[in-house]
Amino acid sequence: MTKPKPIIGISGNERPHAKFPDILWSYTPSGYVKGVQNAGGLPLVIPVSEPDFAASYVSMIDKLILTGGQNVDPVFYGEEKNTSDDDFYLARDLFEFALVEETIKQKKPIFSVCRGTQLMNIALGGTLNQDIEHHWQDEPSDYLSQNMLVKTGTALEKIYGTSTSINSFHHQSIRRLADNLEVIAYDPVDDTVEAVVSTNPDITFLGVQWHPELLLESRTEDQRLFEYVVKEL
């Protein structure tokens, strides 16, 4: 009998249609879907919904991926908005915080990318730098614009080694790290946090700041990261 594929929930985003702003589109970048499928998982895109729906969605999946996108409203870490990029979506924030709470409650693993990593840090009690420089590249999405150092003995070190290069599309970053998190990768130039893991045995979590879903076609390491998430995390 064929073993069932693990179901990987992928948090979706919601944006107005470019030509019809009164129509909202639910979506996720296809790299997440392909990365999960190539790794032997079954992707399930979870649309932005009411927080009360979170428990039902989490009960349907084996693991959760929190994706990139808008800024997380700083009200959730006790600050006012102080950023040049006024891209916020409160409904998504509220729903994804509910997803995190339920996923932890149901003891299922979480993997996060960019905004998702920032949101997870906030959910666990951390804060963000609201506006940083030199981490938003103008080059194509598969261009490796930043260097990264990786802690030895970690899952990332097995995939990327102790030093690698990454793409970079974020103007916010972790400032105060949540108590239950540990930094396992960082930018050697300015110490920007690039990856974290949970140190709480009751929370299985890996978060990265770069976008591996945009690098699947250009190098094997990022697909191996998805394989780790689907099969081992």
Is residue 77 domain-resident? yes
Structure confidence at residue 109 (pLDDT): 98
Mean local confidence (pLDDT), 192-210: 98
CATH of the domain at 208: 3.40.50.880
Is residue 156 domain-resident? no
Band of residue 134 on the pLDDT scale cut at 50, 70, 90: confident
Number of domains, the chain: 1
- Specify whether 213 is catalytic: yes
Write down the catalytic residue from 96, 114, 171, 227.
114
Mean local confidence (pLDDT), 135-151: 95
Directed axis angle between helix 115-123 and helix 90-105, to 10°?
60
- Specify whether 101 is catalytic: no
Structure confidence at residue 71 (pLDDT): 96
Is residue 179 domain-resident? yes
pLDDT tens for each residue of 7-37:
999 999 999 988 898 999 999 999 999 999 9
Residue 115 in tokens? 């905004």
Band of residue 94 on the pLDDT scale cut at 50, 70, 90: very high
- Specify whether 114 is catalytic: yes
pTM of the model: 0.96
Is residue 107 domain-resident? yes
* Mean residue pLDDT across the chain: 96
Enter the DSSP assignment of 193: E
Q: In a 3-state reduction of DSSP, which class is residue 140?
A: coil
Is residue 211 domain-resident? yes
Is residue 135 domain-resident? no
Is residue 93 domain-resident? yes
Write down the catalytic residue from 96, 102, 194, 213.
213
Is residue 166 domain-resident? no
pLDDT tens for each residue of 179-191:
999 999 999 999 9
Structure confidence at residue 85 (pLDDT): 82
Domain that holds residue 117: 7-127+173-183+195-231
Task: Say how many Å lie between the first and final Cα of the chain, rounded.
Answer: 24
Inform me whether the pLDDT recorded for 1 exceeds 80.
no
